[in-house]
Amino acid sequence: MFLWRYLTLLLLTTAHTCKAKKCGRFTDLHLGHSFIGTSLKVRLLLYTRHNDVCGVLLSHTNLTQHPQFNMSKPTTFVVHGYRPTGSPPVWLYITKMLLDREDMNAILVDWNHGATTLDYLRAVKTTRKVSDNLTAFIKMMQDHGASLSSIHMIGVSLGAHISGMVGANFNGSIGRITGLDVAGPSFNNKPPEDRLDPTDAQFVDVLHTDTDALGFREPLGHIDFYANGGADQPGCPKTIFSGGSYFKCDHQKSVFLFLDTVNRTCFTRAYPCSSYEDFLAGKCLNCDRFGDAGCPIFGYDVIQWKDKLLKLNQEKYFFTTNADSPYCKTNYKVDVMIWNKSERWGYITIKLFDGNKEAVATIDHEASEFRKFTETKMLAQFDSDVQSVKKVSIMFTTGQVLQPKRTLRLLRVRLTHLEVKKPLCRYDVLLQENTEVTFSPLPCEESHF
Ligand SMILES: [Ca+2]
Ligand SMILES: [Ca+2]
């Protein structure tokens, strides 16, 4: 809903402004161009707070004719990737979002002529030329007083490798490169000089959303986020019968997840872990190495963790999301102790209520094991945040339909919001399989044990 309102507003404003003066627009091509193939043309569209919806087509030779291009402000380049159909990316409003967030020069790098071809390898070959073009442009910016540290390049797919090549041309002096589902095909297993890597900028942050198809598998930056494990995204089609979106949905999700952090819709902490399975099992919730700041927040603001991250080894960071915006989940640590004589295996669904709102988490990535007087620790990821929890409901299921229904006798259940950290407890709860039990949570008293 929010996205559509944003787009409509943007279209109306653009239409209005463009009547008054000519706005530079992203090149719109079609499938015919893709069949024939296109030769490279790099167009740079500048947006600032004076012209946040009407792009100015920048000259590659003379910057003095663009008074709104202020070199004392930070500059963010947004670089797209392969465009097999020739159409403009759907996320072009990113420049407006960046400007709403920060006073800067936001430059959309339009290399649609070059990216539009049925031959992916041809587009890959073109990336080096795009990076040379941008390198020459940034050198010209330097001549006009811009500092490399104040440059941020946001690269999508092939655009991330282009950003990496530009960064390498400046020996890693560019301030920051953000790679959004960095292209995998023909780059996986390539040496660092032929792809994005941590030496390409002072800080390199990377988001992986489609490691099993279009995205890059291994870590490439100072921090690498693997959303929902990095391979497949919730809300994206699982079969080819869903048409074209099957191919690009996971890949494109990287941009939407990032945008939610630019406009502060989302606040998602990511946890370093050796595998997604261990993360889901709640084994990687320790953030001590980051001190008071806690584990890094995914997205635009991760730059605040730069100094700490530069001292650490490359590692995978995990978080999960909802299928739609707002994508953030709310994480709780759940500790359960039972007093059944024999062990139980099963799945837990928890709901939190504040009187109006309800949040749900199902812990079903694998069956949890419950043993007498032994604490079972789980990670519960709720689809929304409930500020003041008045009621909690829990349901236990084994997933087995043929065996008699089981019971789970909880000696104690403890829920700890990972941000708020004030635990909620309940003692002596009897769960009948597949039957929801609702109760009011109590403050936890360690004296019970
Ligand atoms: Ca590199
Ligand atoms: Ca995938």
Q: Which of 150, 157, 163, 368 is catalytic?
A: 157
Q: Where are the beta strands (DSSP E) in 87-202?
A: 105-110, 151-156, 176-180
Residues 126 and 186 in one domain: yes
How far, in Å, from the CA of 236 to the mean position of ligand 2? 9
Distance (Å, whole) CA 387 – CA 380: 16
Q: Is residue 79 part of a domain?
A: yes
Residues 188 and 216 in one domain: yes
Q: Which of 131, 251, 260, 385 is catalytic?
A: 251
Query: Is 176 annotated as ligand-binding?
Result: no
Burial class (CB in 10 A: 0-12, 13-18, 19+), 65: exposed
| Amino acid, single-letter form, for residue 214 | L
Question: 224 catalytic, yes or no?
Answer: no
Residues 340 and 304 in one domain: no
Residues 352 and 300 in one domain: no
How far, in Å, from the CA of 22 to the mean position of ligand 1? 38
Q: Which ligand is nearest to the CA of 174?
A: 1
Q: Which of 52, 181, 232, 250 is catalytic?
A: 181
Q: How many domains does the chain have?
A: 2
Q: Phi and psi dihedrals of 325, rounded to 5? A: -70, 140
Q: Which of 275, 295, 319 is the last residue of a domain?
A: 319
For the domain that residue 305 is a member of, what is the CATH number?
3.40.50.1820
Q: Which of 265, 299, 319 is the last residue of a domain?
A: 319
Q: Is residue 448 part of a domain?
A: no
Residues 33 and 58 in one domain: yes
Q: Is residue 324 part of a domain?
A: no
How far, in Å, from the CA of 387 to the mean position of ligand 2? 34
Q: Is residue 449 part of a domain?
A: no
Q: Is residue 270 part of a domain?
A: yes
For residue 401, the model assigns a pLDDT of 86
How far, in Å, from the CA of 302 to the mean position of ligand 1? 21
> What is the tens place of the pLDDT at every residue in 193-233?
999 999 999 999 999 999 999 999 999 999 999 999 999 99
Q: Is residue 365 part of a domain?
A: yes
What is the CB neighbour count within 10 angstroms for residue 20?
A: 8
> What is the tens place of the pLDDT at every residue in 268-294?
999 999 999 999 999 999 999 999 999
Residues 234 and 376 in one domain: no
Question: 150 catalytic, yes or no?
Answer: no
Q: Which ligand is nearest to the CA of 246?
A: 2
Residues 340 and 299 in one domain: no
Question: 80 catalytic, yes or no?
Answer: no
Domain containing 191 equals: 2-319
> What is the tens place of the pLDDT at every residue in 391-435?
999 999 999 988 889 999 999 999 999 998 889 999 999 999 999
Q: Is residue 325 part of a domain?
A: no
Name the pLDDT band for 387 (thresholds 50, 70, 90). Answer: confident
- Which of 400, 338, 334 has the alpha carbon at shortest distance from 367? 400
Query: Is 364 annotated as ligand-binding?
Result: no
Q: Which ligand is nearest to the CA of 204?
A: 1
Residues 76 and 136 in one domain: yes
Residues 384 and 302 in one domain: no
For residue 18, the model assigns a pLDDT of 46
For residue 445, the model assigns a pLDDT of 83
How far, in Å, from the CA of 395 to the mean position of ligand 1? 50
Q: Is residue 380 part of a domain?
A: yes
CA angle 214, 302, 359 (to 5 degrees): 80
> What is the tens place of the pLDDT at every residue in 41-73?
999 999 999 999 999 999 999 999 999 999 999
| Protein residues within 5 Å, CB atom, of ion ligand 1 | 164, 168, 192, 197, 200
**How is residue 396 written in tokens?**
């236990």
For the domain that residue 390 is a member of, what is the CATH number?
2.60.60.20
Residues 339 and 307 in one domain: no
Residues 357 and 236 in one domain: no
Residues 88 and 118 in one domain: yes
How far, in Å, from the CA of 327 to the mean position of ligand 2? 18
- Which of 47, 131, 123, 124 has the alpha carbon at shortest distance from 86? 123
Q: Which of 298, 319, 340 is the last residue of a domain?
A: 319
Q: Which ligand is nearest to the CA of 164?
A: 1
> What is the tens place of the pLDDT at every residue in 122-167?
999 999 999 999 999 999 999 999 999 999 999 999 999 999 999 9
Query: Is 195 annotated as ligand-binding?
Result: yes
For residue 155, the model assigns a pLDDT of 98
For residue 186, the model assigns a pLDDT of 95
